[in-house]
Structure 1
Amino acid sequence: MASTKARDALVAAATLSAALVEDRYRRIRAGESPLEGAATAPARARRAFGPVEKGLSGYAVKA
């Protein structure tokens, strides 16, 4: 069974991923082309995950 910290990290990552997917769909509905979105997706992901990277670095670390 996964530890509480591992589950917390998974929930945080899934939440950020879902937010990025929702942002992508919103951009498409607003008229952005898939190629434009693909070009900027890595930078948006880094911005989304960057602030929590160090905060989650201790989660799910195997001893």
Structure 2
Amino acid sequence: MGLFNRKPPAEYVPANEEVAAAARALNRGNRKPADRLVRESGDQAQNTAMRVLADSVTFDESD
């Protein structure tokens, strides 16, 4: 198998449930699940980080 015949690794895009779980953990003060998702996302790391942060924001209309 030649060096140039290798396929690039597939991009990992976390499921919505994984992002929601990481966001809940982030709200509790545990950033490890979010860090793991971002690290495993490769080229999609910034997108994954924004998804986790957006999901971790709580909005209350009464404020």
The TM-score, its normalising length taken from structure 2, stands at 0.34
Answer with 1 or 2: which has the greater Rg: 2
The TM-score, its normalising length taken from structure 1, stands at 0.34
Higher RCO (Cα < 8 Å, 6 or more apart): 1
